[in-house]
Amino acid sequence: MNLSIVSPEAVLFNGEVESVTLPGTSGYFQILNNHTSLVSTLVEGRIKIQGKINIEESNKKKFEYKEGFTYLDIISGVVEVLSNKVTILTD
Tens digit of each residue's pLDDT (9 = 90 or more) over 16-73: 999 999 999 999 999 999 999 999 999 999 999 999 888 989 899 999 999 889 999 9
Domain that holds residue 28: 2-90
Instruction: Please tell me which residue, 19 or 91, carries the higher pLDDT value.
Output: 19
Indicate the pTM of the whole model: 0.94
For strands 2-6 and 85-90, give the pairing. parallel
**Whole-angstrom distance, CA of residue 66 vs CA of residue 83:** 29
Distances (CA, A) of 90 to 34, 68, 75: 23, 23, 7
Q: How many domains does the chain have?
A: 1
CATH number at residue 9: 2.60.15.10
- 32, 44, 53, 60, 88 from 37: Cα distances, Å: 11, 22, 23, 29, 14
Band of pLDDT at residue 91, cut at 50, 70 and 90: confident
Res. 77: pLDDT tops 90: yes
Q: Residue 37's pLDDT is what?
A: 96
